[in-house]
Amino acid sequence: MRRAVFPGSFDPITLGHENIIRRALSMFDEIVLAVGVNTSKKTRFTLDQRLEMLNLVFQDVAQVRIESYQGLTVNFCDEIDASWMLRGVRNGGDFEYERTIAQMSKRLNSSLETVILFTDPEYAAISSSVVRDILSNGGDISEFVPQAVLKFV
Ligand code: ADP
């Protein structure tokens, strides 16, 4: 069973995340979307809302499973027997960040490999934080997020 974890806050999920996940489906038997719970981090959407959004977006995809976790991502991968971590990269900044995380994850769990997909260019400027800024200022986010997110705003 080729199982990958795609970890993130998904606050909220964007079309960029969805694109990476759908493109990776041919590479894995199962992709676990893992919502990291960080009690000291204030989120725009509650954990339940974020889980429900993900469930709605991927309700048509049997290969995708949604979970939440606390603590180190590498430990969560170990617990659910996932040998790959899936990440997306938009630009040089993401690249440097992801390289550090991947190399540190390897130090903590040497059997875990990080797989990176580069974003398709039309999604390169989309981030959850920009979506949250647009929302706080009353703007329209419908071009940047899956439709299912809109029922939560
Ligand atoms: P975190 O809160 O851990 O940064 P995010 O939800 O922002 O989590 O991102 C999770 C993963 O999705 C990261 O690998 C990030 O680089 C990637 N990602 C975020 N936005 C995009 C996008 N528009 N295109 C491709 N990958 C993306």
With a 6 A CB cut-off, is 24 part of the ligand 1 pocket?
no
**Pocket residue to mutate for ligand 1, from 19, 69, 94, most atoms within 8 A of Cβ:** 94
Nearest atom of ligand 1 to the alpha carbon of 15: 23
Cα–Cα–Cα angle for 2, 149, 28, rounded to 5 degrees: 10
What whole-number distance in Å separates Cα of residue 42 and Cα of residue 140?
Answer: 22
3-state secondary structure of 146: coil
Look up 17 and say whether it is catalytic. Answer: yes
With a 6 A CB cut-off, is 8 part of the ligand 1 pocket?
yes
pLDDT in tens, 67-85: 999 999 999 999 999 999 9
Residues 6+ apart with CB under 8 A from 107: none
- The mean pLDDT value for 87-98 works out to 98
What whole-number distance in Å separates Cα of residue 151 and Cα of residue 33?
Answer: 20
**The pair of three-digit structure tokens given for residue 125, joined into one six-digit string:** 């400027």
pLDDT in tens, 95-132: 999 999 999 999 999 999 999 999 999 999 999 999 99
Look up 151 and say whether it is catalytic. Answer: no
Q: Which of 26, 41, 42, 107 is catalytic?
A: 41
Look up 136 and say whether it is catalytic. Answer: no
Instruction: State the amino acid at position 89 in one-letter form.
Output: V
7 has pLDDT over 90: yes
By CB atoms closer than 10 A (0-12, 13-18, 19+), residue 136 is exposed
Model pTM? 0.96
CATH number of the 3-152 domain: 3.40.50.620
| Percentage of the chain modeled with pLDDT above 70 | 100
Q: Which of 17, 44, 50, 87 is catalytic?
A: 17
Look up 128 and say whether it is catalytic. Answer: yes
- The mean pLDDT value for 4-17 works out to 98
Residues 6+ apart with CB under 8 A from 117: 20, 23, 24, 86, 87, 88, 89
